[in-house]
Amino acid sequence: MIRWIIVLIVIVCAVVLAETKGSTCNDHHPKCVRWAAKGECEKNPKWMLQHCRMSCGQCASANVHNLHKLAISQKEEAFKVFLGIFIVLVIGIGIKVIFYGETCPSDAKLKGKTVMITGANTGIGKETARDLAWRKARVILACRDVTKGLKAAAEIIESTGNENVEVKRLDLASFKSIRKFAKEINEEEEKIHILINNAGYLGPYKKTTDGLESNFQVNYLGHFLLTNLLLDKIKASSPSRIINVSSMQHKKGRINFDDLQGEKSYGQFTAYNQSKLAQVMFTKQLADKLEGTKVTVNALHPGVVSTDIMRNFRIYQMWVLRPIISVVSYLFFKTTIQGAQTTIYCAVAPELDDVSGCYFDNCREVPCGENATDEGVAKKLWEISETLCYNVNE
């Protein structure tokens, strides 16, 4: 596939270069030279215009020369536009083939295992749930919108034949909802073998019901509380796994203890990056605390994926630009199935049985951002997180 992409680029470039070369002064053609020397430029005007292009005035009148020059320049511009569009298309497809082609290599089955996934009614979470249901796991979809969750569950059951798919309501923007959900799980579920903290938010400034900034609570703090409330159950189910779906954007993040909730200054990407950094720090801290328990904790970057999280982008809300965004998404973004592969890998790969506190991208372990390795900041964040979780609307 990659070879054909390169061949296509070379062919198109050669055609365009040939056109460009053909539109330059061509007085060196034998007939052009001979006619110009004899003053017989009008001997065959049609042939002259076709072959003695841009004849620098030697074989064409000024008017003919200028008109021909204009026609050629327009043709050149058309070819340049075509070349630009073609190269963008090829590069887009190439990026998807080269960088987004990784799939989970494991065919491990999960019969007898219970998996819980937050935000599983759509996007990456839904495709993760579908795959793990196909592997015969019992899957709990933890969703804020139960109606959408039930619809997703029905689709998963139909496509996998696994009827052991359940929906429970969980609103990560509410500590009350998180505590209620965790209480039900601890009382009703015998085991939780895999917890996937997948739900996410990216959008304008908005406070949760607990008065906290939405990116911070939904992406990080809600999962921090949920995981800790379920930790005894997860330990009792060992060997078990906790997976935090973060983002490569964590590398651009900074934990701003002076304005953790963005009340002084807010940028949605700044808040998002901070929350994703917090997830990776949480992963590493929790992995240290769980050492020796046979419970592993890992974080991952799913890739740049076209999901419902884009609905909160201001540019996406401009309906005029949506067709362009759709094309760009198709060319350069992962599909939700592709985006789910690293999560699936972290959930099922047998080679990760004893791997904890690590960061993954495209189904392989990669270094996390240097900012995520600051032990002092991570410990301080943990302490503040505990205070927020247990002091806000207790």
Please count the residues of the chain: 394
Residue 169: closest CA among 152, 189, 191, 147 = 147
Q: 96-102: list long-range contacts, CB under 8 Å, 24+ apart.
A: 96/331, 96/332, 96/334, 97/1, 97/2, 97/5, 98/2, 99/362, 100/303, 100/334, 100/338, 100/362, 102/341, 102/342, 102/362, 102/363, 102/364
- Spatial contact of 343 and 363, defined as CB atoms under 8 Å apart: no
| Residue 368 Cα to chain centre, angstroms | 16
* Cα distance between residue 210 and residue 282, in whole Å: 21
- Spatial contact of 152 and 122, defined as CB atoms under 8 Å apart: yes
Whether 272 sits among the annotated catalytic residues: the reply is yes
- Spatial contact of 278 and 255, defined as CB atoms under 8 Å apart: yes
**Residue type for 269, please?**
F
- Report DSSP state, residue 335: P
* Cα distance between residue 55 and residue 35, in whole Å: 12
Q: Which of 272, 316, 359, 390 is catalytic?
A: 272
- DSSP one-letter string for 41-68: TTSSHHHHHHHSTT-TTSSS-HHHHHHH
Taking the CA atoms of the chain, what radius of gyration do you get in angstroms? Answer: 30
- Spatial contact of 242 and 300, defined as CB atoms under 8 Å apart: no
Residue 270: closest CA among 253, 286, 255 = 253
For residue 365, the SS3 value is strand
Helix %, strand %, coil % of the chain (to 5)? 60, 10, 30
In what order do the strands lie in the sheet containing 114-118?
165-169, 138-143, 114-118, 194-197, 240-245, 295-301, 358-361, 364-365
Peptide bond into 239 cis (omega under 30): yes
List the catalytic residues.
Answer: 272
